Chains A and B, each alone.
Chain A
Amino acid sequence: MGYGRRRFERKGLGNATFGLNITSMTDMFTIMLVFLLQTFSTSDVQIIPEKDVRLPTSTVENNPVQTLKISLSKTELKVEGKLVTKLKNGYFEKSDIDPNDKNFLPAFFAELETTLKNTKFDFVKDGKILLQADSSLSYETLRRVMYTSSMAGFPKLKIATVMGDGN
C-alpha cells in the first residue's frame, strides 16, 4: 500500500447553528444614543450657520426665535440667503455706500424694504432681525448693516452666536 497523499476533507458542520454576539454592538449604540440625545436641540427654530461665517462664541443661552435672517461674511451680505452686496476683505466697497451718509447702504435698504412690503409674516413686520456676522468683522462694517436695517424698519436686532465660554 503506497503512501499516497490523503485528500483534505473539511469536516462538515451539518446543521449546526451559531449565535451572533451583539452585546458589544448594543453597548456602542447605547453610548451613541446618549450622546445624540444630549446634542438633540429642543429649539423651535433651527439656524444653519452660513458656510463662510464664523460666529462669535457667547455665554448667552437664549434659543433663536423667528426673525428675518441676515448673514454677513467677509465677502457677502445676504438677506434670507439672497445675495445683496459683496464685500472686500470685510469692508463694503465705496460704491455700495451712500455718498451723503457713510453708514447707509442703499442696495441693502431697498432689499429690506421690498421684503417688508411683500411679507406675510408677523415677525418680519415686527422688525425683528437676526444678524449672523463673522466674528472677525469690525464694528465699522457691522454699524452700516445695523444702521441701514434700523432705517428700513428693523430696529430689533439680535446677534447670532454659538454656545461657548466667550473666549
Chain B
Amino acid sequence: MRGKFKPRIHGSAEVELDLAPLLAVMVKLVPVLLISSAFVQVMMVETDLPQVVKEAIQNQDNLPKKTTVGLEVSRAEGFKITTLKDGQTFAQAVPVNAAKELDYVGLHKALQKVKTDNPEVFRIELSPEPSITQKEIVKVMDEARKSRNKDVKFIFVDSKKNEEVQTDFMFPDVVFANMME
C-alpha cells in the first residue's frame, strides 16, 4: 500500500525576502524623480471649459439682446456689480467688510445671484482701480469663475442640441474693461 504523501513542515522556518534588487530599483528611481519633480507648480488663469460652455461663451456675442455684467473693484468702496440688460442697468454693491477689506464671500454670493438671473452670460468686464494688486485681481477671478456651492447649478440652452445644460461655471471669461482708459 502506497503511503499518503505528507509534506514536511518545518516548524519555525523563516524565509527572508531579498530586498536588495528592490532597493537597487528605488535608488535609481528616486534621483530621476527628484530631478524631474516640480515642487512649485505654476498654473495658468485661462478658461478650460466643457465644450458646451465654450460654445455658449462664443455665442454670447451673437445674442440679439446682449447682456453685459461689469465688476468694479475699489479698495475704499468694495465691489460694484453692474448688469446691463434690455437697455436697463441694475447695480449691486458689495461694500468692504468691518475690517475695511474686500468682501470676497459677499462678492461670490452676489455673483451667484447675477448668474442665476443671467445664465447665458459667461463674460465679466472687470475694472479694478489702479491700486488693486495682482493678488486681489486673481482672487476676484477665482470668486467669479465657478460656483463654490456644488448644489448651485446654472441652466442654459445648448444651441447645437437645443437642450438644457447644467454647469457650475459662472463667469470664466474675464475681460479687463478699463485697460485702454
List the interface of chain A (C-beta within 8 A of B): 22-23, 25-26, 29-30, 32-33, 36-37, 39-41, 43, 46-47, 49, 55-65, 103, 130, 132-140, 142-143, 146-147, 150, 158-163, 166
Interface pair B19/A139, CB less than 8 Å apart: no
Interface pair A160/B44, CB less than 8 Å apart: yes
Interface string of B18-49 (1 = CB under 8 A from A): 01101100110110011011111111111010
What are 27 of the A-B contact pairs (CB < 8 Å)? A22-B20, A26-B26, A33-B26, A40-B37, A40-B38, A49-B40, A56-B135, A56-B139, A58-B43, A64-B43, A64-B44, A135-B133, A136-B133, A138-B131, A139-B128, A139-B133, A139-B134, A140-B130, A143-B130, A158-B45, A158-B46, A159-B134, A160-B42, A161-B42, A163-B41, A166-B138, A166-B139
Interface pair B134/A142, CB less than 8 Å apart: yes
Interface pair A26/B22, CB less than 8 Å apart: yes
Whose C-beta in chain A lies nearest to the C-beta of B148?
Answer: A59
Query: B138 contacts which chain A residues (CB < 8 A)?
Result: 56-58, 135, 159, 161, 166
Interface pair A41/B43, CB less than 8 Å apart: no
In Å, the complex CA distance between A115 and B157 comes to 43
Interface pair A160/B40, CB less than 8 Å apart: no
Task: Count B-side interface residues using an 8 Å CB cutoff.
Answer: 41
Query: A64 contacts which chain B residues (CB < 8 A)?
Result: 42-44
Q: Given A23-B19, A130-B44, A166-B139, do A56 and B33 touch, yes or no (CB 8 Å)?
A: no
Query: B101 contacts which chain A residues (CB < 8 A)?
Result: none
Interface pair B26/A37, CB less than 8 Å apart: no
**Least CB distance, B9 to chain A, in whole angstroms:** 25
**Least CB distance, B12 to chain A, in whole angstroms:** 19
In Å, the complex CA distance between A139 and B179 comes to 9
Whose C-beta in chain A lies nearest to the C-beta of B41?
Answer: A163
How many cross-chain pairs have Cβ atoms below 8 Å apart between A and B?
Answer: 141
**Least CB distance, B107 to chain A, in whole angstroms:** 12
Interface of B, secondary structure class, is mixed
Tell me whether B115 is interfacial, beta carbon within 8 Å.
no
Interface pair B176/A159, CB less than 8 Å apart: no
Interface pair B45/A62, CB less than 8 Å apart: yes
Tell me whether B137 is interfacial, beta carbon within 8 Å.
yes
Interface pair B41/A162, CB less than 8 Å apart: yes
In Å, the complex CA distance between A46 and B180 comes to 32
Interface pair A36/B130, CB less than 8 Å apart: no
Query: A39 contacts which chain B residues (CB < 8 A)?
Result: 37-39
Tell me whether B142 is interfacial, beta carbon within 8 Å.
yes
Whose C-beta in chain B lies nearest to the C-beta of A90?
Answer: B133
Interface pair A166/B142, CB less than 8 Å apart: yes
Known: A40-B36, A60-B145, A62-B45. 18 other contacts (CB 8 A): A32-B30, A36-B34, A41-B37, A56-B134, A56-B138, A56-B139, A58-B138, A58-B139, A58-B141, A61-B43, A64-B42, A65-B44, A137-B133, A139-B128, A139-B137, A143-B179, A158-B45, A159-B44
